[in-house]
Amino acid sequence: MSSPEHPSSARAAFDPDQYDPETLAVRAGIERSQFGEHSEALYLTSSFVFNNAAEAAARFSGATPGNVYARFTNPTVTMMQDRLAALEGAEACVATSSGMSAILSMVMALLKSGDHIIASRSIFGSTQQLFANYFEKFGISTTLVDATDIAAYRAAVRPTTRLFFIETPSNPLTEVIDIAAVAGVAHEAGALLAVDNCFCSPALQKPLELGADIIIHSATKYLDGQGRVLGGAVCGRKAEMDEVLRFLRTAGPTLSPFNAWIILKGLETLSIRMEAQSARALELARWLEKQAWVDRVFYPGLESHPQHAIAMRQQSSGAAVVAFEVKGGRDEAWKLIDSTRMLSITANLGDTKTTITHPATTTHGRISQEARDASGIRDSLIRLAIGLESVADMQRDLSRWLAV
Ligand SMILES: Cc1ncc(COP(=O)(O)O)c(C=O)c1O
């Protein structure tokens, strides 16, 4: 992962092992061209030329390293991968076209028919559908377990279990899973642990340091950070990431260079955004707890959160998603949402603009009422993904419905 500061310079290469995360976020992964550009270049090219047939043959076979074709090699994508790997403390990273294709690529590369997955019940809805509707079709079965019950993970182990998959904190109820404890169970079973680190990002949580083997990202969220592009990534050991890259080279769910460039630049401000958005989330969560019209607030940074202690051990803040139940039901929740003027009514998260969502009728609207009840997603639940506006403005917007 060493990156020449300037190809023609005598300066030593940038060694990511010697720098702090804030520095890695702006400097890791840079590969300068012969022009010595300061800002990372955007290489909008689908293929690369060779000096002769022998060079082409050597590049295609992998005998010599270098770019070949943008389905699996592009310098802008490589820069983004190397920067994210440095931030996660991973040997390697493979970027993908979306968070969902990161999960697809990991499973296609590392599992086979007959294998078994154990996943936490609170994983993202599309991830659940990918496991239940598609992997199942090809003979890979999944058992969903209660996210925070470590004994349930152990009880679900079969001789064919190859992968544990968790997401922490979860969406939308912010359940926090003890990563080190689940890693222990996975490794006892001879399986890998993959953690979807979307809600925290490496700025707040380092799953590999806690024993996870693989990290999944929807780069669409905090890594971009401004709601512009779709992207994803798989990070982990080089041997396993080589397999994921082989799948990408064959099947093509590849990140575009333009999206990689946006995410690469997004990473530069990741830690200060996460810090500022988390601080606002904590202030707003504390305010919500005091409102007479709020039944319950879900935020890992609050002392009242059931897994507050675990969150404070494995995360450096409570992150930026806050959920709460308004007193009443769907009518009250919709009235509150419809009375806002500034907050964005949308299902995305990880943006500098705060978003407000009614999970029961949007993100979780396609699952049955029983499944929603089992997951604790009530009609009165509202999810906020906190951005960078002032907390006072957020409070004013959330209070407008009281005057209607
Ligand atoms: C936790 C989590 N994982 C994965 C995804 C999927 O990411 P993408 O939309 O980039 O495919 C999402 C999207 O909302 C998510 O919230």
Q: How far is the centre of ligand 1, averaged over its atoms, from the C-alpha of 59 (Å)?
A: 34
Q: How far is the centre of ligand 1, averaged over its atoms, from the C-alpha of 102 (Å)?
A: 10
| Nearest-atom index, ligand 1, CA of 230 | 10
Query: How many other CB atoms are found less than 10 A from the CB of residue 121?
Result: 18
Of 236, 268, 300, which one is at a domain's C-terminal end? 268
- What is the CATH classification number for the domain harbouring 74? 3.40.640.10
- Under 8 Å CB-to-CB from 336, ≥6 apart: which residues? 326, 382, 398, 401
Which residue puts its alpha carbon closest to atom 7 of ligand 1?
99
Nearest to 247 by CA among 109, 94, 110: 109
* Same domain, residue pair 264 and 307: no
Asked if residue 306 has a cis previous peptide bond (ω within 30° of 0), the answer is no
b/e 165-192 (16+ beta carbons within 10 angstroms → b): bbbbbbbbbbbbbbbebbbbbbeebebb
| Domain ranges, residue 343 | 272-403
Would you say 319 and 193 are in contact if contact means Cβ atoms under 8 Å apart?
no
Give tens-digit pLDDT for 318-365: 999 999 999 999 999 999 999 999 999 999 999 999 999 999 999 888
* Same domain, residue pair 241 and 301: no
* Same domain, residue pair 259 and 286: no
* Same domain, residue pair 259 and 330: no
* Same domain, residue pair 62 and 193: yes
* Same domain, residue pair 246 and 378: no
Would you say 221 and 352 are in contact if contact means Cβ atoms under 8 Å apart?
no
Residue 10 placed within a domain: no
Give tens-digit pLDDT for 37-87: 999 999 999 999 999 999 999 999 999 999 999 999 999 999 999 999 999
| Nearest-atom index, ligand 1, CA of 199 | 1
* Same domain, residue pair 167 and 277: no
- pLDDT value at residue 276: 98
Among 103, 195, 198, which residue has the most ligand 1 atoms within 8 Å of its CB, making it the best to mutate? Answer: 198
- Alpha-carbon span 60 to 54, nearest angstrom: 10
E strands present in 80-213: 92-96, 116-120, 141-145, 161-167, 192-196
| Nearest-atom index, ligand 1, CA of 123 | 1
Residue 6 placed within a domain: no
| Nearest-atom index, ligand 1, CA of 232 | 10
* Same domain, residue pair 183 and 244: yes
Pairing type for strands 214-218 and 355-357 reads: unpaired
Q: How far is the centre of ligand 1, averaged over its atoms, from the C-alpha of 57 (Å)?
A: 38
Q: How far is the centre of ligand 1, averaged over its atoms, from the C-alpha of 153 (Å)?
A: 23
Residue 287 has pLDDT above 70, yes or no: yes
3-class DSSP state for residue 299?
coil
Sign of the C-alpha dihedral, residues 333, 339, 343, 344?
A: positive
Alpha helices in 290-342 (DSSP H): 308-314, 330-339
Of 268, 303, 337, which one is at a domain's C-terminal end? 268
- Alpha-carbon span 163 to 77, nearest angstrom: 27
pTM of the predicted protein model: 0.94
Give tens-digit pLDDT for 137-147: 999 999 999 99
Which residue puts its alpha carbon closest to atom 8 of ligand 1?
99
* Same domain, residue pair 232 and 83: yes
- pLDDT value at residue 99: 98
* Same domain, residue pair 150 and 258: yes
| Nearest-atom index, ligand 1, CA of 347 | 14
Of 268, 284, 309, which one is at a domain's C-terminal end? 268
- What is the CATH classification number for the domain harbouring 318? 3.90.1150.10
- Alpha-carbon span 334 to 298, nearest angstrom: 19
Nearest to 260 by CA among 100, 96, 104: 96
For residue 40, what are its two tokens?
């990372």
Q: How far is the centre of ligand 1, averaged over its atoms, from the C-alpha of 188 (Å)?
A: 29
DSSP 136-154: GGGT-EEEEE-TT-HHHHH
Q: How far is the centre of ligand 1, averaged over its atoms, from the C-alpha of 11 (Å)?
A: 40
Number of domains in the chain: 2
Would you say 180 and 314 are in contact if contact means Cβ atoms under 8 Å apart?
yes
Residue 8 placed within a domain: no
In the structure, what pLDDT confidence band is assigned to residue 370 with cuts at 50, 70 and 90?
confident
* Same domain, residue pair 240 and 277: no
